[in-house]
């Protein structure tokens, strides 16, 4: 038209600009807008409306607002475009302000206006605002299927599932989108059985289902780790030919991964012809959750090769994997990658980094990330650092951080006090712990729950105040659960109080007879007293009930690879070098005055065998491997799944002094930093 000198008017430019919007061609759209300006049609109502829609589509809300403010004749489409644009860029307050201006101009809202405002209510998470918009739509008589479905979606996402259900049941006509929205609302609110009941109703009326239906139901199965139901749905997906839908297949990967069926998750994942970041992350998260951290990092490498940009959830999963394995090197690499890519460290990522550095033994890195990670700090961020201080036995630092929270007017929550009480327990701060326990309700109106009581019982029990711990349990305002008695039982083993230990074990077995840990601790209490008949009885009882003790293992990362050692494990490829190192260490520390504490061997064998068994403990194997595999003077980090025994604790102190290295051991309870023959726990753990 332009080449042939045909006049270009507002409608011509409008249709051309709409074509650019459909094609996502921003540069051509810009050219059309410039051409319209040259032809004097830029203020045409139809073209102005299309220009605003075009700019909004590409997130240029400020430029769209300039055009909007210059238009003298605005229709409802213009207003809706601006409201929708502000919602799109999460400027929800501006969306509401735009609506109020629209009302002031006497413009009647349309269903699109109302749905845009409903999305704004979801964005700010305000049920109160949502109910106001619901009332507004009724006042204007705008109750078409689009608006009602949007309202159902809003009520579901904001947790008012009852209002969503009432709206759905009153709908005179429903389409499949309405059914799927209600079904999704049930799943989002944990009402999976109600979702399946609605699905059966949908099938009975012969409406069929689509990918949206399947995706929601699969998410429900994933919540419950319901593998059997998931497999049935998978069959329906295949029969309906929905296996090419990326949302459905991603939901299948997520379901199988969360249910521990990694072979099925991998089968679906690698068969996907199209994958997005959510698909990759679902597979990666499943591997992390099931302890396959090396495979998770391999998936991340494949993501990078495929040029798929990871999102915050991907990185949180990888950071969690590093925390689980104590893999500091990988964790630092992820942190550096985030920094290089200019990734915004929000509260979730920052919290994950603090947790990772804490569990990898780098407390100074925790503090540094906390101080410079984000501008605003919330209670979750504070809790993560308090927890890190706790597991490292720095109770005084945890209590100081709590005081800083109060100075910054950040209100602590229940998790804060669980971490604080645990910190006091690991540091022997009995008075501080008791004061914090009473402060919870007195100053913050937080009623202690069973976790807080368990922490305080642990605090008293570790300090040897077993009678006081018993009396405290008797005064609890509700029935104590197994965690409370487990804390007391652990204290009985630590302080060799067999009488209270047996009573506590009896109570525990009445609550949780299938917990192997109870039998193990009771057996250990008897063993330390040399009561081998009772030991055999308890272990025989375990066997009859099909219970097995959790095998102890230790992990160490060397050359970017995690090595795992079991007790007495001689299968490692470097065993021929590990054994001589162990023997050399044994001789050196014996020359330094070490005497084996064979009471830690809870088996009825002779003294020579007890010493041999002690030197087969997994952390000693890991330390020996670390010494032969890392440069002299470098730090050694060990992660252990059980509590360090007294003799290993003593041995590691001797080794740290002889080899002049810092050795960090993270056991199931806390961290031990061994330097120059001393441990950070002060022998209190």
pLDDT of residue 171: 93
- 679: part of which helix (H) or strand (E)? strand 678-679
Q: Which residues contact 49 (CB under 8 A, 6 or more apart)?
A: 14, 74, 75, 77, 78, 81
Domain boundaries, the chain: 452-544, 553-679
pLDDT of residue 75: 87
Quick one: pLDDT band at residue 43, thresholds 50, 70, 90?
Answer: low
Dist. CA 670–CA 47, nearest whole Å: 66
| Angle subtended at Cα 265 by Cα 262 and Cα 270, rounded to the nearest 5 degrees | 120
Residue 443 tokens, joined: 């100053």
Dist. CA 68–CA 43, nearest whole Å: 10
The tens digit of pLDDT for each residue in 135-161 reads: 999 999 988 999 999 999 999 999 999
Residue 571's Cβ-count burial label (10 Å; 0-12, 13-18, 19+) is exposed
Dist. CA 556–CA 564, nearest whole Å: 7
The tens digit of pLDDT for each residue in 201-228 reads: 999 998 889 999 999 999 999 999 899 9
The mean pLDDT value for 394-414 works out to 94
Percent of the chain with pLDDT over 90: 70
Residue range 452-544 in CATH 2.30.30: no
Looking at residue 5, the DSSP 8-state letter turns out to be T
Quick one: pLDDT band at residue 92, thresholds 50, 70, 90?
Answer: very high
Stated pTM of the model: 0.77
Residue 465 tokens, joined: 């105040």
pLDDT of residue 117: 96
Q: Which residues contact 613 (CB under 8 A, 6 or more apart)?
A: 568, 601, 603, 605
Q: In sequence order, what DSSP letters do the residues of 436-497 get, joined into one string?
A: HHHHHHHHH-PPP-HHHHHHHHHHHHHTT-HHHHHHHHHT-SS---HHHHHHHHHHHHHTT-
- The torsion of the CA quartet 493, 499, 503, 509, rounded to 10 degrees, works out to 40
Dist. CA 361–CA 332, nearest whole Å: 13
The tens digit of pLDDT for each residue in 510-533 reads: 888 888 888 888 888 888 888 889
Pairing of β 561-566 and β 553-558: antiparallel
């Amino acid at each position: 038209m332009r080449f042939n000198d045909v006049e270009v008017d507002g409608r011509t430019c409008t249709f051309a600009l709409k074509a650019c919007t459909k094609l996502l061609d921003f540069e051509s759209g810009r050219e059309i807008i410039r051409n319209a300006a040259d032809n004097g049609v830029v203020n045409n109502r139809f073209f102005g409306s299309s220009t605003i829609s075009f700019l909004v589509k590409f997130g240029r809300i400020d430029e769209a607002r300039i055009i909007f403010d210059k238009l003298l004749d605005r229709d409802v489409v213009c207003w809706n475009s601006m409201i929708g644009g502000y919602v799109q860029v999460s400027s929800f307050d501006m969306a509401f302000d735009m609506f109020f201006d629209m009302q002031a101009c006497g413009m009647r809202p349309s269903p699109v206006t109302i749905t845009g405002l409903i999305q704004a209510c979801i964005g700010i998470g305000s049920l109160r605002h949502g109910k106001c918009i619901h009332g507004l739509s009724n006042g204007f008589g705008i109750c078409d299927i689009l608006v009602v479905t949007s309202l159902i979606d809003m009520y579901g996402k904001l947790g008012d599932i009852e209002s969503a259900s009432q709206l759905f049941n009153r709908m005179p006509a429903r389409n499949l989108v309405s059914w799927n929205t209600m079904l999704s609302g049930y799943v989002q609110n944990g009402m999976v059985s109600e979702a399946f009941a609605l699905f059966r109703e949908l099938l009975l009326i012969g409406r069929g289902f689509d990918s949206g239906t399947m995706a929601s139901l699969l998410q429900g199965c994933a919540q419950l780790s319901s593998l059997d139901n998931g497999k049935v749905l998978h069959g329906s997906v295949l029969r309906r030919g929905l296996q090419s839908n990326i949302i459905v297949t991603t939901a299948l990967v997520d379901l199988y991964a969360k249910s521990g069926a990694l072979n099925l998750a991998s089968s679906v994942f690698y068969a996907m012809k199209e994958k997005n970041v959510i698909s990759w992350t679902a597979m990666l998260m499943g591997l992390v959750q099931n302890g396959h951290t090396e495979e998770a990092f391999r998936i991340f490498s494949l993501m990078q090769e495929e040029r798929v940009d990871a999102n915050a959830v991907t990185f949180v999963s990888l950071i969690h994997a590093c925390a689980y394995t104590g893999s500091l090197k990988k964790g630092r690499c992820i942190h550096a990658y985030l920094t290089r890519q200019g990734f915004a460290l929000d509260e979730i990522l920052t919290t994950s980094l603090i947790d990772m550095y804490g569990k990898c033994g780098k407390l100074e890195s925790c503090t540094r990330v906390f101080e410079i990670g984000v501008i605003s700090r919330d209670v979750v961020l504070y809790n993560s650092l308090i927890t890190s201080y706790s597991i490292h036995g720095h109770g005084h630092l945890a209590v100081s951080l709590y005081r800083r929270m109060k100075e910054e007017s950040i209100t602590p929550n229940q998790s804060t006090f669980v971490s604080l009480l645990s910190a006091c327990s690991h540091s022997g701060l009995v008075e501080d712990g008791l004061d914090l326990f009473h402060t919870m309700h007195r100053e913050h109106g937080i009623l202690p729950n069973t976790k807080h009581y368990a922490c305080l019982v642990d605090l008293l029990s570790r300090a040897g105040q077993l009678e006081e711990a018993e009396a405290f349990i008797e005064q609890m305002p509700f029935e104590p659960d197994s965690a409370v008695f487990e804390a007391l039982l652990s204290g009985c083993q630590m302080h060799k109080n067999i009488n209270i230990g047996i009573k506590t074990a009896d109570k525990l077995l009445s609550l949780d007879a299938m917990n192997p840990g109870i039998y193990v601790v009771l057996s250990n209490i008897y063993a330390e007293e040399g009561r081998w008949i009772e030991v055999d009885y308890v272990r025989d009882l375990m066997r009859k009930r099909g219970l097995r003790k959790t095998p102890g293992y230790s992990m160490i990362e060397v050359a970017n690879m995690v090595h795992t050692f079991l007790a007495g494990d001689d299968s490692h490829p470097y065993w021929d070098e590990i054994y001589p190192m162990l023997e050399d260490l044994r001789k050196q520390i014996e020359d330094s005055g070490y005497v084996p504490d064979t009471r830690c061997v809870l088996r009825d064998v002779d003294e020579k065998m007890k010493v041999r068994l002690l030197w087969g403990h997994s952390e000693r194997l890991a330390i020996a491997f670390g010494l032969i595999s890392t440069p002299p003077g470098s730090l050694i980090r060990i992660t252990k799944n059980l509590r360090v025994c007294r003799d290993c604790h003593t041995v590691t102190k001797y080794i740290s002094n002889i080899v002049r290295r810092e050795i960090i051991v993270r056991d199931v309870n806390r961290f031990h930093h061994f330097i120059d023959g001393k441990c950070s726990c002060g022998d209190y753990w």
